Structure 1
Amino acid sequence: MSVDRTLRNASISGRLRDLHIVGGLLADRGAAGAAEVDLEGARLIPGLHDHHIHLAAAAAAVDSVSLTPDELVAGGGLGALLRAARQRHPEGWLRGIGYDLTQSGWLDRRDLDEVAVGPVRIQDRTGSRWVLDSTGLAEVLGDRADGSPQPDGVERDAAGRPTGHLVRLDAWMRERLPPHQPDWLRLGQRLAAHGVTSVTDAGHLNDLAALAMLASANLPQRIWAMTKGSVTSFAMPEPTGRVVVDAVKIVLDDDALPRLDLLAQQVEAAHAVDRGVAVHCVTDVQLALALSAGLGPGDRIEHANVVPEGYAELIARAGVAVCVQPGLIATRGDRYLDEVEPDRHHELFRLRALAAAGVPLLGGSDAPLGPISPWRGIEAATTRRTGSGAVLGADEGLGPVTAAKMYQRSAGRGWPVRVLAPGDPADLLVLGDDAPSGPEVVATLVEGVVVHGSL
């Protein structure tokens, strides 16, 4: 429950001010009998919003095995990490995340069979592909493992045997796995510790059941959620609270691009029910197609990993926002530098060009595929440094204040930058000393409730 408070001597934009919280909202004067807290000059800023996160996957990642290239080196390799995880969890499925099939080596079911810790499933770093061992594959395929018809996405070798790779089959696979309760509590605590007070779930398969699950998760953060196109409105009754329905999510894939007229119909259908669209675009081809489909104010481009010359101006003229994940520069930048032609490196993860053209930039983590801390995203947006220390597009760096504003924009259409105005939700951060990983978050408040630290 929110407590009416007056925060004295808060340092806000370099000036000492008092801030009043009444009924979970900021107010221009304090309530009678409000508790008073002297912040003694501590910095106070608006809470941060993660504009692109996958909440269920991020919660599942809390008790998954991290298999990033760095973790593999530190932990003695794939086999050692999986065997150690099996000792901690003697029964049931093992779930690995963050494995880079390009950098760490290609895997199939036979490689995982040799480790002998099944059933196990490992998610590729891109998030679109799972690799299962034979035990796990038999469990999800059932009696169809003998070669009977299977859904698109079950890969087979030249002899017709399943390789263990399942591509874009998350929902199908989830129906065939034992029920698993995500660790919502620890996820909410992690987000709050990083100063995240609200989030946008970017699931492209979100339906009413998924939205109900998010509402019942009881995260301390306020939630906006994208949905599949068939969901037009949703509100949960008390006491589970409310999930705000956000944009219709549209995923583009270079291997299966839709016809332009069909994509335009999807955009028009969303606009007809006063919904924006959020279009997944990680290549220049996808970006060009999206911009030709009738996007306008209130719509979003997700990722925009590649922005050719002149496209920033096209995006700005359309009135479209771009949700970027600069933390991926730190975790995947070296891979992009290796895989993309050198004469196109300047097109990668562009930020300054988009900001200069007047495009609203929204900051997201893409967790669990990217680092969950917004401070890592802010740092990467300013330094442009990859994991190896290389600089990816130094000319595209932002100043620290501009970088932070990407995470201080409100959710919903317009995405205004929050300025601690009366009537706004009391989503606040009290900050301590600066550190390389970001400032110390002394306290996090959501609608006036302390959800991390103390005042």
Structure 2
Amino acid sequence: MTAAASADTRFLIRQAQLVSGECVDLRIAGGRIVEKANQLLLGGDERLIDAASCALLPGLHDHHLHLFATASAGASVRCGPEDVADEEALFKCLRAQLRRNADPIRGVGFHESVCESLDRHWLDRCCDDRIVRIQHRSGMMWVFNSAAIAALKLSSDEVLPEGAERDAHGQLTGRFINLDAWLGQRFQGPRQSLASLSAQLASMGISAVTDTGVNNNLATWQSLSEQLESGYFRQRLLVMGNNALHNIVGNERISVGAVKLYLREARLPELDEFTARIQDAHEHGRVVAIHCVTRVELYFALAALDEAGGMVGDRIEHAAVADSYALEILADLGVTVVTQPHFIAERGDQYRQDVDIDDQPFLYRGAGFLKAGVALAGGSDAPYGAVDPWASMKAAVNRRSKSGYTFGHQENLSAQQALALYGGDLHRPGGGLRELEVGQLADLCLMDCDWVTVLDELDARHVAKTFCAGQPIYERANNKC
């Protein structure tokens, strides 16, 4: 979608039902809502869209995902417990993939509950003459077989970064922990097209996304810009990343977001050093978004934010375990939390085994954040979670695992609160569901049913049309709107 195409497109959406229940007409021109009234006359150069009293939502925003990784995952072998139950099943799955084609194998979604002994030697027994690399579902670890290690072209005297695990004999185990940037430099190749992913997101009503890669740099920015210019990616885009993005000037289609900071409880940085990184981001006019999935990581991040001085829009990503005291500090600092309620549905049964029982009541909280006055938004964390925002909304409402176990029913959100997780502002998430007003960019999601049904069912199948800056990026075939 080009700016010129957006500016030339004019629509009149007739009798669209707003969340208030009121039905109105909206005129779209130049990519924005230019009129809103009970009844508007159709212009001669306008396309009429009869909403027929169906619900019109603000376009949904996925506030946390990893675009290129998600696109690549679509062409990868699923290796998680939802797909392969145990070590034997994983072995058969990989062998079957070997028989299908002669390409290198890229696996995703792995969890140690499937195979505790996964390393280069295990993978070599499965396949010793083809590159095999498998990513842990946390995104924090890759496991390579010997062929994949050989493809890294390591010299005998090369000093490897910490995270390249070795055994007692000094040999690489094939496990590479938190080394995505380093591995990416070794495995450089053409970027996966985002066209299919963009279409999938649009079909779910998503008009804008935030790419939250901690290693996003100038090269990533250029790649994403090319995807937009080519028309492969049709949503608006906010790009987090490292300090290399400090001086980038964006536009309405693509803009620079927070400095992404990553914490690992096993190896926390010095508090003064981390605080200085937050202050540097703020001095360059950028907020920070800090990855926190444990209680210790969250408290460390909050201590650093308190020391650095907060900036409106600072974020905690995940806040997977947040006790009551942490909620108080989050509220006092004015920090926004971007969470993933669908992990309860997708991983809840595993959490019951892996997460300390004292932490389980505080997993991916919902109502607790809102009651404490903490701004709350949602993101898929794709490819580490499913991209469907509606499934995430349902999970926020019922908080049930696949087996039916309910995690903290007091944390349940109402359907409208759950929808607001994805219906907020792209640049300032967590402010509640956007109201459709004159002057706004026309990021819209037209449903095929009324608001009562939307909130009752929270289902992507009701998405009829999606607009980004006034351009239709999804139109379901054979819909009545």
Q: Is this a same-fold pair by TM over 0.5?
A: yes
Q: How far apart, CA to CA, are the structure 1 residues paired with 2:283 and 2:161?
A: 33
**Deviation, structure 1 residue 439:** 4.2
Partner amino acid, structure 2, of 1:11: Q
Match of 1:306 among 303, 316, 321: 321
Partner residue, 1:96 = 107
* TM-score normalised by the chain length of structure 1: 0.93
Q: How far apart, CA to CA, are the structure 2 residues paired with 1:302 and 1:420?
A: 27
Task: Confirm or deny that 1:164 pairs with 2:174.
Answer: yes
Q: Deviations over 1:370-396 (max 9, x none)?
A: 111111110111110112221111111
Partner residue, 1:275 = 286
Identity across the alignment (%): 36
Match of 1:8 among 14, 31, 34: 14
Aligned residues, how many?
Answer: 449
**Deviation, structure 1 residue 75:** 12
**Deviation, structure 1 residue 181:** 2.7
Partner residue, 1:54 = 66
Partner residue, 2:84 = 72
Find the residue that maps to 1:368 and give its secondary structure.
coil
Q: Which runs of 5+ in 1 are unaligned?
A: none
Q: Deviations over 1:133-164 (max 9, x none)?
A: 111111114344xx753222111111211111
Match of 2:256 among 245, 249, 252: 245
Partner amino acid, structure 1, of 2:366: L
Match of 1:25 among 32, 35, 42: 32
The farther-off stretch of 119-128 and 444-453 is 444-453
**Deviation, structure 1 residue 235:** 3.2
Partner amino acid, structure 2, of 1:119: I
Q: Which runs of 5+ in 2 are unaligned?
A: none
Q: How far apart, CA to CA, are the structure 1 residues paired with 2:462 and 2:143?
A: 38
Task: Confirm or deny that 1:316 pairs with 2:331.
Answer: yes
* TM-score normalised by the chain length of structure 2: 0.88
Alignment of 1:168-317 (within 5 A): 168-177=178-187, 179-218=189-228, 219-235=233-249, 242-293=253-304, 294=306, 295-317=310-332
Task: Confirm or deny that 1:423 pairs with 2:429.
Answer: no
**Deviation, structure 1 residue 340:** 2.3
Q: How far apart, CA to CA, are the structure 2 residues paired with 1:355 and 1:365?
A: 19
The question of whether the paired residues in 2 share the 8 Å contact of 1:251 and 1:281 is answered with yes
The question of whether the paired residues in 2 share the 8 Å contact of 1:212 and 1:236 is answered with no
Find the residue that maps to 1:70 and give its secondary structure.
coil
Q: How far apart, CA to CA, are the structure 2 residues paired with 1:74 and 1:452?
A: 39
Partner residue, 1:446 = 468
Partner amino acid, structure 2, of 1:300: R
Find the residue that maps to 1:200 and give its secondary structure.
strand
Relative to structure 1, is the Cα distance of residues 439 and 75 closer, same or farther in structure 2, using a 3 angstrom cutoff?
Answer: farther
The farther-off stretch of 250-259 and 407-416 is 407-416
Find the residue that maps to 2:15 and give its secondary structure.
strand
Q: How far apart, CA to CA, are the structure 2 residues paired with 1:427 and 1:75?
A: 46
Q: How far apart, CA to CA, are the structure 2 residues paired with 1:178 and 1:278?
A: 27
The question of whether the paired residues in 1 share the 8 Å contact of 2:86 and 2:115 is answered with no
Relative to structure 1, is the Cα distance of residues 15 and 243 closer, same or farther in structure 2, using a 3 angstrom cutoff?
Answer: same
Task: Confirm or deny that 1:380 pairs with 2:395.
Answer: yes
After superposition, the CA RMSD in angstroms is 2.2
Q: Deviations over 1:237-275 (max 9, x none)?
A: 9xxx85200111111111221222222211111111211
Q: How far apart, CA to CA, are the structure 2 residues paired with 1:54 and 1:374?
A: 15
Q: How far apart, CA to CA, are the structure 2 residues paired with 1:179 and 1:194?
A: 30
Q: How far apart, CA to CA, are the structure 1 residues paired with 2:393 and 2:458?
A: 11
Relative to structure 1, is the Cα distance of residues 43 and 104 closer, same or farther in structure 2, using a 3 angstrom cutoff?
Answer: farther
Task: Confirm or deny that 1:37 pairs with 2:37.
Answer: no
Partner residue, 2:148 = 136
The question of whether the paired residues in 2 share the 8 Å contact of 1:233 and 1:245 is answered with no
**Deviation, structure 1 residue 437:** 4.8
Relative to structure 1, is the Cα distance of residues 414 and 398 closer, same or farther in structure 2, using a 3 angstrom cutoff?
Answer: closer
Partner residue, 1:336 = 351
**Deviation, structure 1 residue 19:** 1.6
Partner residue, 2:368 = 353
The question of whether the paired residues in 2 share the 8 Å contact of 1:54 and 1:367 is answered with yes
